[in-house]
């Protein structure tokens, strides 16, 4: 049985503008921010606390960057 990896996402809010911080698989945001940098800072704190993967999306919704904050079954070597 595989354990599902926890994720925290920064995504654009296309209806209201700005940026949302969401947990993977959830529709309701944890928080909303006018600036992407503020949303990323908040999401990074949550991700570090929960040892989850941080997934940052661009305005088009595509993934721009991923940062692992623990819980990675295959950490990078060296």
Render 64-75 in DSSP notation, one character per residue: EEEEE-S--SSP
Domain count, the chain: 1
pLDDT digits (tens, 9 = 90+) for 13-46: 999 999 999 999 999 999 999 999 999 999 999 9
Has residue 53 been placed in a domain?
Answer: yes
Has residue 15 been placed in a domain?
Answer: yes
Has residue 69 been placed in a domain?
Answer: no
pTM: 0.83
Distances (CA, A) of 24 to 29, 34, 78: 10, 21, 29
Range of the domain at 31: 7-62
Has residue 68 been placed in a domain?
Answer: no
Has residue 18 been placed in a domain?
Answer: yes
pLDDT digits (tens, 9 = 90+) for 40-78: 999 999 999 999 999 999 999 999 999 988 755 555 554
Has residue 21 been placed in a domain?
Answer: yes
């Amino acid at each position: 049985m595989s354990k599902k990896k926890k994720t925290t996402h920064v995504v654009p809010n296309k209806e209201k503008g700005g940026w949302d911080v969401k947990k993977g698989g959830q529709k309701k945001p944890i928080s909303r921010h006018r600036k992407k940098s503020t949303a990323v800072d908040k999401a990074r704190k949550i991700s570090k606390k929960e040892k989850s993967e941080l997934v940052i999306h661009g305005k088009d919704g595509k993934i721009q960057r991923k940062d692992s904050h623990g819980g990675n079954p295959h950490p990078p070597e060296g």
